A and B are shown apart, each in its own frame.
Chain A
Amino acid sequence: MSFSWSEYGKWQMRCKPHVSAKVHGNSGLTSPPTFKLKTIFLSRIDTASSRTYTEHMSQLQISEKLAILADAAKYDASCASSGTSKRSSSKSGGIGSTEGMGICHAYAPDGRCISLLKILLTNSCIFDCHYCINRKSSNVRRARFTPKEVVDLTLNFYKRNYIEGLFLSSGIIKSSNYTMEQIVEVARSLREDHDFRGYIHLKTIPDADPELLEAAGRHADRLSINVELPTRAGLQKLAPEKSEERIEGAMGGLKESILDGRDAKKKYRSAPNFAPAGQSTQMIVGADSATDSDIVRRANGLYDRFGLRRVYYSAFSPIPDASAVLPVQRPPLMREHRLYQSDWLLRFYGFAPQEVVDAADADGMLPLDIDPKLAWALKHRAHFPLDVNSAPKAMLWRVPGLGTKAVDAIVKARRWRRLRLEDVGRLTVSIAKIRPFITAEGWSPGALTDMEHLRASVAPKVHQLELFA
């Protein structure tokens, strides 16, 4: 049946309390709906036409600033909105919720997810870090939002379901404290003035006062401090005003507060939140001479020492108006991808950092044509083939092409049946890559595992031309 507005009366009769109306609490009420759909269509006039000139001008300005300050923020890799506590606005009547799992509301043609409104408060900066497009000596257009403008933009986007929340960062203006105050004010206003319960990620300035970091943690889901470069030498060369001690000192402080906050929350439900989604960091890959092995070791150290939720790797993008200290060539995008895969091996697949380093070639770089798990397996063929019907879970994680979900399913299913190759095939994406490394009921790879050309036979065939190589 098509929906006709002249049938409004009929429609209203058919309207009935929804099955899940119980979410509201006063289910069972049969009072007539207060909602008048008819008027929607009478007032369906675009608000744009009735806006005043000043409103129009300020909108335009916002758009211009947005273009500059979003453009400046795109070199931050993180857009995650996951891993925080579950919240909803159904009791408060406010706006926003977090569901634990993040949502990507759109994807850009660069293949990256758009989950948060990711912007800088300002791209002016008193620092002169060579890899950064916003450094003092860079010749980019500068702009600055007021905290209120960011708050309005966030709410406007959120209410239309464009975003999960806000990721706010900033260049440093006047002083670290002044900048941090402005960032905190945005988060405070969203939470307190507007009862906003969506996701907030604040980039934290290591040199700001601890009280400001405390305030940031109370309002934000996630805090992050960028280590910027994988090695100390790289940092000294490319970001002379930053120091590893101060960065790591601040990360250590955040770790304490996050743990304290979690403890307090266990004892008292009303205890204030402190960054329930933890802290993360980012390092730039390919701007200095650090090898993949250096990076894997550094990332592992950061996870261990600061209880980080994520380390992001951002392939150094050639930026307009680049500094002469930087390499002219960008690293292949695939390198970034391989580092993320190695990160996964550390966090979810039980690999020790040294084992990931083992997967790298003699020059300390992970192979670009095959993933690090496959590289590791090819170097450690003596471990294979593994019997899917008996191998322990931790060993199955090491089979190239088997993900953690597939391993879970295999371990469960083998309680009920002797798994054949086709059974494993049903539980995974592609059996071809896995086959040489496993035995199953009625399947033995024979000489396949030891085959000299195994690498060539399991490596992906298609090579994409590197853009801007």
Chain B
Amino acid sequence: MITARLGHEDDFDGWREQCRGLLRLGARPADIVWQVGEQRTDLFANPESNIEAAPIGVPKGFAELSRSVICHSDPERFGLLYQLLIDLKARKRHMGDRADPLLRKLDVMAKTVRRDIHKMRAFVRFRRIEQDGDEHFVAWFEPEHHIVRTNASFFVRRFAGMRWSILTPKLSIHWDKDRLLEGPAAQKEDAPTEDAIEEQWKTYYGSIFNPARLKVKAMLKEMPKKYWHNMPETALVSELIQSARNRELAMIEKETAAPVADTLNSLHAEAARCRRCPLFGPATQIVFGEGPERARLMFVGEQPGDQEDMQGQPFVGPAGQIFNAALREAGIDRAQVYVTNAVKHFKFKQEGKRRIHDRPNVGEINHCRWWLKREIEMVQPDLIVALGATAARSLTGHNVAVTPNRGHILESIEGVPVLVTIHPSYLLRLPDAEAAARERQNFVADLSQALDRIGTIQTATA
């Protein structure tokens, strides 16, 4: 086991020197313990062997890669780089082969380091203090990797005419307009806590933000929260997001804030703008309920069909014809009852030129329940007839099998009695004429039962 010591975390020169010696010894990566300490002990400064560690030839791109990787905080980095160096020498790996797993890993590490370097350049925030009439700019920064020394020259190039200090938890660097100095680790409290110009900067940050577009994820990707606590402008972020959201809510409210509908007509108009589920898209129009403002009997079907969708009225297609005839037979005047559907938009599958009925799913039924509830509240029926399973599901809030419950009275979510029967389109689908006639009689019987229950469909005129 060999211990290779380095002067500091990003001691590239030290690492390179150690490698020269280690290569000469033929040391295997597994035999080396890399240690970062106060002093760099040179294993190979052996007075007896006077051989200078010869410079090692490395392929193009290796120096650049290793200079970046050395700054990474992963303690494995020295060993990984040494492994790569050995493999390159043995021609087991090639710098050009970036699909190689080890090279890929080191590439990713180098990229992380370069990003940290870039973010430090971007997110260091100086605060100005005065000192003997001269100004001094001090920043507190917490980098993720060991990049401060590497990055110092950038700040010198940029702020040559200023005195500045960058304090970090590992070390501090200082520029006196003439020389760059390195000092020990610092703490956040060592840096100034405010700067009058920050208010102007925040004003700018808040004003340049365009509240019409909110892309918080895009912001977080480039300005991760870990950097926020040293950037004064980030104090505004949540407020700005909130105000943009409020703006959105205000706009939505403005659109829908028309006085709450108090007649069936205005409720119809409100529902015409419904975007609760995607069914509004392909449908021609909404098919809302029809009937008097107050009715003792209410019929709820499944959803409009092709004809209904075109005409905008419920139960006007083939099933509607059967429904009308059955009502007449049962002695019910359709003009005096309220007729509507559980789902108000036509859901279909396009097959060539034909639009084939597609059964609404529970989500769609639930979204549309809002409108059915408002209809029930306004019409105040004594009894609701659920035509088919979808209607029964919508009214009661749970799945209801039609056949066993047929002719039974259940209760709607609002507490209104619900009589369950088939949907008239069921009669259209029966192939056997005899069965169809029998079922039709049963359907008429169910409607008669409904009428019997409420006694009369006439509303008491107030």
Contacts and interface: CB of A to CB of B under 8 A. Distances in A.
Nearest to B201: A162
Contact of A111 (B197, B205, B219, B248): B219
A467 B223 contact: no
Interface in B105-158: 118, 121-132, 136-139, 149, 152-154, 156-158
Interface stretch (B237-245, B329-337, B351-359): B237-245
Contacts of A18: 149, 152, 173, 179-182
A71 to B, nearest CB: 4
Contacts of A99: 154, 157
A95 B159 CA distance: 5
Interface in B226-285: 231, 233, 237, 240-241, 244, 248, 251
Nearest to A51: B196
| Chain B: interface size category | 35 or more
Interface in B162-196: 162-163, 165, 167, 172-174, 176-187, 190, 192-196
A318 B210 CA distance: 11
B180 A17 contact: yes
Nearest to A48: B196
Contacts of A70: 203-204, 207-208
Contact of B98 (A17, A89, A96, A409): A409
Contacts of B149: 18-20
Contact of A423 (B99, B210, B244, B251): B99
B161 A89 contact: yes
Give the one of A39, A108, A156, A415 with max B CB within 10 A: A108
A46 B194 contact: yes
Given A3-B187, A48-B194, A63-B203, A43 B129 contact: yes
Contact of B183 (A11, A41, A107): A11
B209 interface: yes
Nearest to A105: B122
Given A23-B157, A318-B212, A413 B99 contact: yes
B248 A415 contact: no
Nearest to A196: B161
A104 B122 contact: yes
Contacts of B97: 412-413, 415-417
Contact of A94 (B118, B131, B160): B160
B92 to A, nearest CB: 11
B182 A15 contact: yes
A94 B161 contact: yes
A16 B215 contact: no
B291 interface: no
Contacts of A410: 99
A315 B152 CA distance: 40
Nearest to A93: B161
B415 interface: no
A248 B118 CA distance: 37
Given A33-B181, A34-B176, A59-B196, A103 B209 contact: no
B208 A35 contact: no
B373 interface: no
Interface stretch (A113-121, A269-277, A297-305, A360-368): A113-121
Given A18-B180, A18-B181, A103-B122, A467 B213 contact: yes
B461 interface: no
B94 interface: yes
A36 B165 CA distance: 11
A468 B209 contact: no
B39 interface: no
A20 B176 contact: no
Contacts of B185: 1-3
Given A63-B200, A413-B97, A110 B213 contact: yes
Contacts of A94: 160-161
A5 interface: yes
Contacts of B177: 93
B96 interface: yes
A23 B153 contact: yes
Contacts of B43: none
A24 B218 CA distance: 39
A41 B193 CA distance: 11
Given A15-B183, A153-B200, A160-B197, A20 B152 contact: yes
B154 A71 contact: no
B162 A159 contact: yes
A109 B172 contact: no
A424 B209 CA distance: 39
Contacts, number: 277
Nearest to A406: B98
B76 interface: no
A288 B111 CA distance: 43
Interface string A1-34: 1110100000100111111110110000100011
Interface residues of A, number: 94
B360 interface: no
Contact of B124 (A11, A110, A161, A195): A161
A242 B207 CA distance: 28
Interface in B314-365: none
A426 interface: yes
Given A111-B218, A160-B128, A416-B96, A105 B160 contact: no
A108 B157 contact: no
A161 B125 contact: yes
Interface string A251-285: 00000000000000000000000000000000000
B219 A35 contact: no
B122 A1 contact: no
B211 interface: yes
B216 interface: yes
A440 B173 CA distance: 50
Interface in A84-142: 88-97, 99, 103-114, 117-119
A112 B210 contact: yes
B302 to A, nearest CB: 28
A20 B182 CA distance: 10
B104 interface: yes
B208 A108 contact: yes
Contacts of A114: 205, 208
Contacts of A46: 192-196
Contacts of B207: 66-68, 70-71, 74
B222 interface: yes
B199 interface: yes
Given A18-B180, A93-B161, A40 B99 contact: no
Contacts of B128: 47, 159-160
A402 to B, nearest CB: 14
Contact of B157 (A11, A68, A90): A90
Contact of A2 (B187, B193, B212, B240): B187
B156 A37 contact: no
A62 interface: yes
Contact of A97 (B123, B127, B158, B211): B158
A98 to B, nearest CB: 9
A107 B180 contact: no
B26 interface: no
Contact of B210 (A29, A59, A110): A110
Contacts of A315: 213
Contacts of A11: 183-184
Please name the 8 residue pairs, one residue from A and one from B, whose CB atoms are nearest each other, closest first. A111-B215, A111-B218, A88-B157, A3-B186, A416-B97, A423-B99, A70-B207, A35-B176
Interface of B: 94, 96-101, 104, 118, 121-132, 136-139, 149, 152-154, 156-163, 165, 167, 172-174, 176-187, 190, 192-201, 203-219, 222-223, 231, 233, 237, 240-241, 244, 248, 251
13 contacts: A3-B186, A15-B183, A20-B153, A33-B174, A33-B179, A37-B183, A67-B207, A91-B160, A95-B158, A107-B219, A157-B201, A162-B201, A426-B99
Given A110-B210, A110-B213, A118-B208, 16 more contacts: A17-B180, A19-B149, A23-B157, A24-B180, A33-B176, A37-B183, A40-B131, A63-B203, A68-B207, A107-B223, A108-B219, A109-B237, A109-B241, A110-B215, A162-B125, A162-B201
